[in-house]
C-alpha cells in the first residue's frame, strides 16, 4: 500500500542570539504548516539560537532563555510533528539538540553525536556528544506511525568515524532519515552532501530529508540547498541556493512508490556560485549588524571593482559610496576607471585627493623629528591616510567600510594594516586573484555590458604607492600556489613535486608565515572555500617553523 507523507522543509534564516525573533519566525512557519496540513515540519540545526552561537553557549541565561522559548513554542504545536534545532541542557550536560514536538509537548530530545571540532567548528568546546541514538516512533494525524531516524548535521559526516549515527539508526530500523543541518557553504559543497546522503539511502533503502540553514553569520554563509531523496535514491527536492524557502514535499512510501519527475542539481558555474554566496554574506552581515550603507575605496583596480559590484547587488546602488583617493602616484586611468565604474553601478562617487595630506604628514615629521618618510614607511602612510578618510566617511555617515583585499595578497601580506585592511567586512578575502577576475567577467555578463570597465580587467594590477609600481607577483603563477598552501594544505615537498618552482614555493611559504600578525587583525571575511583565513585557520604569530631547514 502506498502512502504519502507531507513534509515542510523550513529552509529559513535564523539570527544568532535572536531567540525571540527566531521563535516568532518558527511560529509563523508552524502556522503555515498547520494550515497546509503537513505531517512533519523540519527546521535546521540550532534554528532557535542561530548558528554558531559560539561563547553565548557559556552564558547560563542564554541556555535558560533558549529552553523557555522551546517550551513556549511546543505549546503552539498541534498534531503536526515539529522538529527544531535548539540547545538541550540536561542536568549539567549541554547538547546540540533537536526537539521533537507534538500536541503541545516536547516528546523527545535528540542529541548530536558527532561534534565537529576542526576548521571553523568548535563543538567540543560547548557540547557533550549524544550516545543515545534511537529511532523516534511518532503517530501522524492519519493514525499511521512512523519511525524517524533523526540526527544532526555532522552525524551524517561519519567517514573515518568509529561511531556512525545513521547506521545505528538504520540498523535499528527507521522509515525515514531526517537531518537538521547548519552546514556552511563552500564551493561545490552541495555535491558532497548529496553523495553522503545517497550512500545512506542506498544502504537502507529509506527516504532521507536534509534541511539546511540559510543566511550569513559573521564569516559563514549557509547556502540552504536542502535535499530530499526517496528510498530509491532519486531527488524529490533540491532546495534553493542562498535563499529562504518553505517547500512542502510529498514523500511516497511503499514498494511501488511512484516518484514524480526526479529533480536535478542546477549546474551553476563556479563564478556564479561564489558571487551569490558573497552577495548573501554581505547582505546578511549588514542587515544583522544593523547597517544599510557601505563605503569603499575605488582604486580603479579589479579588487575594489568586484567588491563594489557585490555590494551593489547585496545592498542596492543607493546604499553604496565609492571614494577615489588619488595621489601623485595614481595614474589618470585609475581615477577614470574608478569614476566610470561608479557611474556604471549608479553609486555615489566621491573624489578625495590625498597629496596635501601626504605633504602635511611629511612636513610635520620634518618639523618635529627632522626626518621624512621614505620606502615602505611612505607607502604605508599613503595607505593609512586613505584608511583614515574612508573611516571618516564610515563614522560621519554611519556606513560600514568594506575592505577590498583578495586572498592571494592577504596571504602574502601584500596589504597595509590600518590602511587598505581597515574596514568592517573583508568581502573578497577568500577569493584568489583568479577567482576575482572570473567574478568580474560573470558580473559583466550578467549585466550585459562592461559595468566593470574593460581596462580594469585587462591592465596590470598595481598598488600605485610609488611611480611605475606594479604588483611584484605573476598572479597566474602564485594565485594557485597560495590556494594549494591554504586550501589544500600542501607542504613544500608536495608543492615542488607538483612542479611549482622551488624558490617561489619557499618564498610564498615564508611570506604567508611572516604575515600572520596582519591577518590576526583583519576584519571578518566571507568564507567560500574549504579553508579561509579567520576563525577556521589558527596559526600562531610566534612561529619559527620552516620545513626547509630540517635536513636529517
Q: Which residues inside 521-550 make contact with a second copy, applying CB under 8 A?
A: 521-524, 535, 537-547, 549-550
Within the chain, what is the greatest distance between any pair of CA atoms? 93
Among 194, 353, 413, 480, binds a second copy (CB under 8 A): 353
Nearest-approach distance from CB 119 to a second copy, in angstroms? 9
Identify which of residues 138 and 354 has a Cβ nearer to a second copy in the complex. 354
Q: Which residues of 319-350 are buried (b: 16+ CB within 10 A; e: fewer)?
A: bbbbbbbbbebbeeebbebbbbbbebbebbbe
| Grid coordinates of 124 | 567540543
**Segment near a second copy (CB under 8 A); pick from 221-229, 236-244, 337-345, 350-358:** 350-358
Q: Which residue in 112, 206, 407, 433 is the catalytic one?
A: 112
User: Does an H or E element contain 348, and which?
Assistant: strand 348-351
- Cell numbers 574593460: residue: 454
* Cβ 249 to a second copy shortest distance, Å: 30
Q: Does 498 bind a second copy (CB under 8 A)?
A: no
Minimum gap (Å) between residue 311 Cβ and a second copy: 18
Catalytic annotation present for 343: no
What residues between 367 and 426 interact with a second copy by CB under 8 A? 368-369, 371, 373, 376-377, 380-381, 384-385, 387-389, 391-392, 395-396, 417-418, 422, 424
Interior CA angle at 170 toward 169 and 176, to 5°? 90
Whole-Å CA distances, 493 to 38, 487, 543, 546: 56, 16, 19, 12
Interface residue with a second copy among 3, 4, 72, 470 (CB under 8 A) is: 72
Please identify, using beta-carbon distances, which residue of 5 and 389 lies nearer to a second copy: 389
- Site for a second copy contains 256 (CB under 8 A): no
In the block, which residue shows the cell 552532501? 193
| Closer of 219 and 435 to a second copy (Cβ) | 219
**What's the closest the beta carbon of residue 440 comes to a second copy, in angstroms?**
28
For a second copy, which residue of 3, 4, 21, 192 counts as binding (CB under 8 A)?
Answer: 21
The whole-angstrom separation of Cα 224 and Cα 216 is 11
Beta strand segments in 191-309, E: 208-212, 214-217, 220-223, 227-229, 235-238, 245-253, 294-297
The window from 36-44, 59-67, 106-114, 187-195 that contacts a second copy (CB under 8 A) reads 59-67
Write down the catalytic residue from 153, 206, 219, 464. Answer: 153
Main-chain dihedrals φ then ψ at residue 353, nearest 5 degrees? -65, 150
124 binds a second copy (CB under 8 A): yes
Residue 447 binding a second copy, by CB under 8 A:
no
Distances (CA, A) of 213 to 34, 56, 80, 129, 230: 21, 19, 21, 21, 21
Which residues, other chains included, contact 458 with Cβ-Cβ below 8 Å and sequence gap of 6+?
A: none
Would you count residue 17 as binding a second copy (CB under 8 A)? yes
Contacts with a second copy in 155-214 (CB under 8 A)? Answer: none
Is residue 94 near a second copy by the rule CB under 8 A?
no
Residue 395 burial by Cβ neighbours in a 10 Å radius (0-12, 13-18, 19+): exposed
Take residue 186 and report the three cell numbers written for it.
Answer: 563552500
The verdict on 520 binding a second copy (CB under 8 A) reads yes
The reply on whether position 364 binds a second copy by CB under 8 A is: yes
Q: Is 153 a catalytic residue?
A: yes
Exactly one of 30, 354, 452, 478 binds a second copy (CB under 8 A); which one? 354
Do the bridges between strand 145-152 and strand 136-139 make them parallel or antiparallel, or are there none, so unpaired?
antiparallel
Stretch that binds a second copy, among 30-38, 231-239, 334-342, 352-360 (CB under 8 A): 352-360
Those residues with Cβ within 8 angstroms of residue 378's Cβ, 6 or more apart along the chain or in another chain: 358, 465, 466
User: Considering beta carbons, is residue 15 or 317 the nearer one to a second copy?
Assistant: 15
Query: Which residue, 137 or 493, has its beta carbon nearer to a second copy?
Result: 493
Query: With respect to a second copy, which residue has the nearer C-beta, 117 or 202?
Result: 117
**Min separation Cβ 117 and a second copy, Å:** 5
- Name 456's bridge partners: none
Burial 262-281 (b: 16+ CB within 10 A, else e): ebeeeeeeebbbbbbbbbbb
489 in contact with a second copy (CB under 8 A):
yes
Kindly identify the residues of this chain, within the stretch 275-314, that bind a second copy according to CB under 8 A. 284-285, 288-289
The site for a second copy, by CB under 8 A, has a size of: 92
> Which H, E and C letters describe 215-229, residue by residue?
EEECCEEEEECCEEE
Q: With binding defined as CB under 8 A, does residue 24 bind a second copy?
A: no
- Residue from 79, 117, 328, 469 in contact with a second copy (CB under 8 A): 117
Could you tell me the smallest distance in angstroms from the CB atom of residue 364 to a second copy? 6
Considering only residues 217, 304, 334, 479, which one is a binding residue for a second copy as defined by CB under 8 A?
Answer: 217
Inter-CA distances, 176 with 55, 210, 424, Å:
34, 11, 44
Q: Which residues participate in catalysis according to the annotation?
A: 45, 112, 153
Amino acid at each position: 500500500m502506498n502512502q504519502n507523507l507531507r513534509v515542510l522543509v523550513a529552509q529559513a534564516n535564523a539570527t544568532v542570539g535572536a531567540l525571540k525573533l527566531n521563535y516568532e519566525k518558527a511560529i509563523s512557519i508552524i502556522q503555515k504548516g498547520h494550515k497546509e496540513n503537513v505531517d512533519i515540519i523540519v527546521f535546521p540545526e540550532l534554528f532557535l539560537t542561530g548558528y554558531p552561537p559560539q561563547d553565548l553557549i557559556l552564558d547560563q541565561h542564554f541556555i535558560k532563555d533558549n529552553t523557555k522559548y522551546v517550551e513556549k513554542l511546543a505549546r503552539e504545536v498541534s498534531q503536526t510533528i515539529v522538529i527544531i534545532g535548539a540547545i538541550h541542557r540536561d542536568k549539567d550536560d549541554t547538547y546540540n539538540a533537536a526537539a521533537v514536538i507534538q500536541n503541545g509537548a516536547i516528546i523527545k530530545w535528540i542529541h548530536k553525536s558527532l561534534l565537529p571540532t576542526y576548521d571553523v567548528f568548535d563543538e567540543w568546546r560547548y557540547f557533550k556528544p549524544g550516545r543515545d541514538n534511537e529511532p523516534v516512533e511518532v503517530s501522524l494525524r492519519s493514525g499511521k506511525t512512523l519511525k524517524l531516524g533523526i540526527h544532526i548535521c555532522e552525524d551524517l559526516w561519519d567517514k573515518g568515524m568509529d561511531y556512525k549515527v545513521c547506521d545505528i539508526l538504520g540498523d535499528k530500523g527507521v522509515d525515514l532519515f531526517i537531518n537538521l543541518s547548519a552546514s556552511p557553504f563552500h564551493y561545490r559543497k552541495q555535491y558532497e552532501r548529496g553523495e553522503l546522503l545517497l550512500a545512506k539511502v542506498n544502504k537502507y533503502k529509506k527516504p532521507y530529508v536534509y534541511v539546511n540553514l540559510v543566511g550569513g553569520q559573521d564569516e559563514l554563509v549557509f547556502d540552504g540547498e536542502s535535499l530530499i531523496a526517496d528510498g530509491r535514491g532519486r531527488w524529490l527536492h533540491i532546495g534553493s541556493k542562498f535563499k529562504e524557502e518553505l517547500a512542502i514535499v510529498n514523500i511516497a512510501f511503499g514498494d511501488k512508490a511512484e516518484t514524480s519527475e526526479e529533480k536535478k542539481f542546477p549546474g551553476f558555474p563556479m563564478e556564479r556560485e561564489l558571487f551569490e554566496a558573497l552577495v548573501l554574506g554581505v547582505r546578511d552581515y549588514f542587515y544583522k549588524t544593523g547597517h544599510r550603507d557601505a563605503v569603499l575605496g575605488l582604486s580603479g583596480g579589479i579588487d575594489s571593482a568586484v567588491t563594489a559590484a557585490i555590494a551593489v547587488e547585496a545592498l542596492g546602488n543607493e546604499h553604496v559610496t565609492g571614494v577615489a583617493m588619488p595621489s601623485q602616484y595614481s595614474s589618470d586611468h585609475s581615477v577614470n576607471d574608478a569614476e566610470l565604474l561608479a557611474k556604471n553601478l549608479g553609486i555615489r562617487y566621491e573624489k578625495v585627493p590625498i597629496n596635501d595630506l601626504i605633504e602635511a604628514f611629511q612636513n610635520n615629521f620634518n618639523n618635529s623629528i627632522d626626518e621624512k618618510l621614505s620606502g615602505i614607511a611612505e607607502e604605508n602612510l599613503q595607505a593609512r591616510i586613505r584608511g583614515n578618510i574612508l573611516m571618516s566617511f564610515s563614522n560621519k555617515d554611519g556606513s560600514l567600510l568594506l575592505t577590498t583585499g583578495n586572498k592571494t595578497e592577504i596571504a602574502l601580506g601584500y596589504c597595509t594594516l590600518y590602511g587598505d585592511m581597515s574596514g568592517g567586512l573583508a568581502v573578497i578575502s577568500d577569493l584568489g586573484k583568479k577567482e576575482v577576475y572570473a567574478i568580474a567577467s560573470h558580473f559583466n555578463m550578467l549585466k550585459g555590458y562592461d559595468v566593470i570597465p574593460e581596462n580594469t580587467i585587462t591592465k596590470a594590477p598595481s598598488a600605485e604607492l610609488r611611480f611605475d609600481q606594479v604588483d611584484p607577483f605573476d598572479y597566474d603563477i602564485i594565485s594557485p600556489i597560495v590556494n594549494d598552501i591554504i586550501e589544500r594544505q600542501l607542504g613544500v615537498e608536495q608543492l615542488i613535486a607538483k612542479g611549482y618552482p622551488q624558490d617561489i614555493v619557499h618564498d610564498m611559504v615564508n611570506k604567508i608565515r611572516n604575515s600572520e600578525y596582519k591577518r590576526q587583525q583583519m576584519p571578518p571575511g566571507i568564507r567560500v572555500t574549504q579553508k579561509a583565513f579567520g576563525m577556521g585557520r589558527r596559526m600562531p604569530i610566534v612561529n619559527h617553523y620552516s620545513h626547509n631547514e630540517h635536513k636529517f
